[in-house]
Every structure is written in C-alpha cells, then in structure tokens.
Amino acid sequence: MERPLSRFEVPSRTGRFVAYGLFGWCAEVLFSGLHDFARARDLRLPSRTSLWMFPIYGMLLPMFEPLHDAMRDRVPAPLRGAVYAAGFFGVEYTTGWLLRTAIGQAPWDYSYARRQLHGLIRFDYAPLWGLAGLALEPVHDVLTGRR
C-alpha cells in the first residue's frame, strides 16, 4: 500500500518544476520590492520579474534537488551555503549569457554594481544566494515528502 502524501508534497517532477518556478517568482517579487524600498524609500514597493525567470527558477528541480540530497546531513551548513552560492552564480551567469545571446539582453543587469561580472552576477550577493540555498532545503524536503 502506498503511503499517503503529506499536505504539500508534490510527487511529480513536472509539479515540482512548476512549484520551484512559482516560488522563485514570488521570492523575486518580494526581494525586488524590498530592495527598491531600501534604495529609494519607495513606499509603493514596486516589484518586477520576467517570464524568462520561471524556467530558470524551475531548474532548481534538476540541479538543486540532487545537490541537496548529496550534501544532506554530510556537509556543514556554511559549506552547503557556499556550494549553493557557487551553483546559483553558475546558473545566473549561464542563463543570463544565453538570454543575452539569444534576445539581446538578460532580464537583469548588474553592470551598475561595483562587484559584478559582465553585468550578469554580483559577487556581493554570495551571502544572499548561500542563505537562499539553505532556505530552500526545507522547501525541497516538504515538496518531496522526505522529512
């Protein structure tokens, strides 16, 4: 007999791809609104994302899930965070470069920032990406019913 699904478990890979895409969109909207408030004190909290970001965030399924499973309970959190940050940088740079090549621009442009590479990644975001990866671990566990 099959075990019953937990409340938020999404057994299909397609379903989890969609869940990660939606989760990423929501997180980006929240981050961009708070970021603009911090920079410009804009109480409207304008937020932005791109339709291109949905499949990029959805790629957490084939990339993040196996990585998290491989490091789970074996690698200390600070090192896992560093690995996640490096992975996010790789995906961010590669997808930004591909989109810039295909359509002429990436959905983001960090060329204004001091610590950036080709306007596609910001090195000062490393702690943020590391924390985001660690925050995704329980999301992955809930979606897969692992814990």
pLDDT tens digits, one per residue of 1-60: 566 666 788 889 999 999 999 999 999 999 889 988 888 888 888 888 999 999 999 998
8 in a domain, yes or no? no
pLDDT at position 121 is 98
Please check whether residue 82 lies inside any domain of the structure. yes
Q: Is the dihedral of CA 56, 59, 65, 71 positive or negative?
A: negative
Separation of alpha carbons 55 and 66, rounded Å: 18
Please state the rounded mean pLDDT for residues 93-109.
Answer: 97
Does residue 7 belong to any structural domain of this protein? no
- What does the block give as tokens for 66? 């196996």
With respect to residue 3, please indicate whether it lies within any of the assigned structural domains: no
How far is 108 from 125, CA to CA, in rounded Å? 14
In a domain, 1, yes or no: no
Tally of structural domains, the chain? 1
pLDDT band at 129 (very low <50, low <70, confident <90, very high): very high
pTM: 0.89
Give the tokens for residue 122: 């910001």
Write down the pLDDT at residue 48: 85
Residue 129 in domain: yes
**pLDDT for res 42:** 83
116 has which bridge partners?
Answer: 122
**Helix extents (H) in the chain:** 13-40, 53-58, 60-71, 77-103, 126-144
140 lies in a domain?
Answer: yes
Asked if residue 44 is part of any domain, the answer here is: yes
What pLDDT, in 10s, does the model give residues 65-98? 999 999 999 999 999 999 999 999 999 999 999 9
- pLDDT tier for residue 128 given thresholds of 50, 70 and 90: very high
Residue 117 forms beta bridges with which residues? Answer: 121
pLDDT at 3: 60
**Torsion sign, CA atoms 73, 78, 79, 80:** positive
Domain interval for residue 138: 13-144
